[in-house]
Amino acid sequence: MRLTPSRPLLLALTLLPLAACVQTQVPTLEQADVPATFTPRAEQPDMSATPAWPAVDWWTSFGDAELTTLIDQVQAGNLDLANNRRNLQSAQVALEEAGFNLLPRASVTLGTGASYRQSRVAGQDESNNEGTPFSLTGSVSYADILARPAVYTQALADYDSRAAHSADIALNTLGTSASTYFQLLLIRDKLVAATQNVANAQAISAIADARVAAGVAVPIEALQQRIALQREQAALRALEQSELAALSSLALLTGRPVQGFEIAGQTLQNVVVPAVQAGLPSELLLRRPDLVQAEAQLRSAVAGVDIARTDYFPSLSLTGSVNASSSSLTALVSSPDQFINAGATVLHTLLDTGQRNRALQTRQLALENALASFRRAALVAFNEVEVLLSAVQLQEEQVAVALENLGAAEESFRIAQVRYAEGVTEFQTVLTTQNTLFSSRNAVLDTKLQQLNTLISLYQALGGGWQASDIPR
């Protein structure tokens, strides 16, 4: 049996190459938007000569085994990350469906049924049982052919966007976990400092009481020191509450209740301050999840323009079917009655009152917005890395100054305490040096935490070791 192609079918086959012509080039960033290198800072290695990127397990560079264990627990038990993984799996299923939509839709059906008819003519009943016919039908349809490649391209870009967003959420969650862990260690360091502050305040209070009892000091000195002592005791109790809140936050990040949740670490002093470098800025475009997401959204917008342009071409649809039927299942397999249908449909809109033009214009404006958003995200990322690199150096200097100030404050308080006990120094001097010592202790701890948090932020700004090639397909 020979089939002669119909004219619509020939026209459809002729128009198929037009699908490749409806492809818009994805715009790129302007050359001025991407710096050649990040600016090297004084007393830092020349990053343009030795570009480097964080490892995917960047938290191990802090040299804290418990932090590594905590991150493992967060990755395994965090409820948001679990939802994140399921959302990514859902995106993979959607992409797989989009891939199948590139192919013709095929179906095979097997049917059977019975037919019975009864009629009454001139007082006589007539009935007819037509048996049980069987039918087997296979059909193939391929509609909206020209738009399908662009639709798949958009689906792929949307998947990349969702995958990058998922990676960004994971990076932020791990960064929050590390920051919260360091916050807990800071609180515990401050608890030690607050205990020392209370002890120092108690020592001065005892001296003031003794001096008042001896009649060599006025009662106001003892009262003022008692107020200072109560203030430090209240600060100590507040820190104990803050420790519980930090533990609760860490427990939630691991997907556990705070009851029975423990962290053994007690101090920030054992946490290593790693040296972090940045590679070439152009590589950051493939390493920061938010930049990969913005670029994927740009590609999706480009595909949207291509989809709108296909509306200017005829809509092509190809269909075909084979139907086999017989009165018995055996005959259906051996010698069925066969019917073959094949056809093509070409539909073209001649008048739409400008609807296609408006749709295309809307998609083009969306493309311009996506490009602007991508440029802005890139500029924010490059500037953020520059600022954080500078902050790392500044905070190294601030830590050194804070430690120097603490040493001076401790010596000043020691001298003032001795001289006050000897009756040489006024109480106000003791009070001033005491407050300076307390604030200097907190300043050292706060500066160390700021330094560690800046490094965490820098790891995140550099993509945390993630790459666009890590997106699962």
Token pair of 201, please? Answer: 């305040």
214-248 tens-digit pLDDT: 888 889 889 988 998 999 999 999 999 999 999 99
| Other beta carbons less than 10 A from residue 153's beta carbon | 20
Instruction: Give residue for tokens 């919260």.
Output: 180
Whether residue 205 contacts residue 94, with contact meaning beta carbons closer than 8 Å, is answered with no
Identity of the amino acid at 460: Q
Question: For residue 79, how many C-alpha atoms fall within 13 Å in the half-sphere facing its CB?
Answer: 6
Please state the domain extents for the chain. 33-104+146-313+354-470
Mind listing the pLDDT tens digit for each residue in 154-165?
A: 999 999 999 999
pLDDT surpassing 70 at residue 15: no
**More confident: 261 or 137:** 261
- pLDDT tens-digit readout, 417-441: 899 888 888 888 888 898 898 899 8
Quick check: 159 and 88 in contact, CB under 8 A? no
What Rg value do the Cα atoms of the chain yield, rounded? 38
Query: Residue 311's closest CA among 360, 366, 262, 271?
Result: 360
Q: Is the pLDDT of residue 67 over 80?
A: yes
CATH 1.20.1600.10 fits 33-104+146-313+354-470, yes or no: yes
Q: Give the per-residue pLDDT at 85.
A: 94
SS (H, E, C) 311-340: CCCCEEEEEEEEEEEECCHHHHHHCCEEEE
Q: Is the pTM of this model over 0.85?
A: no
Nearest Cα to Cα of residue 173 among 73, 54, 275? 73
The amino acid at residue 375 is R
Give backbone dihedrals phi and psi of 259, rounded to 5 degrees, phi first. -65, 120
How far is C-alpha 394 from the chain's CA centre?
28
| pLDDT > 90: percent of the chain | 55
Per-residue pLDDT, averaged over 140-154, amounts to 87
- The arithmetic mean of pLDDT across residues 87-106, rounded, is 90
pLDDT tens profile 42-54: 444 444 445 679 9
- Work out the mean pLDDT of the chain and round it to a whole number: 86
pLDDT on residue 426: 85
Element containing residue 125 per DSSP (H, E): strand 124-129
**Measured distance CA(211)–CA(195) in Å, rounded:** 24
User: Rounded to 5 degrees, what angle do the CA atoms 441, 235, 203 make?
Assistant: 70
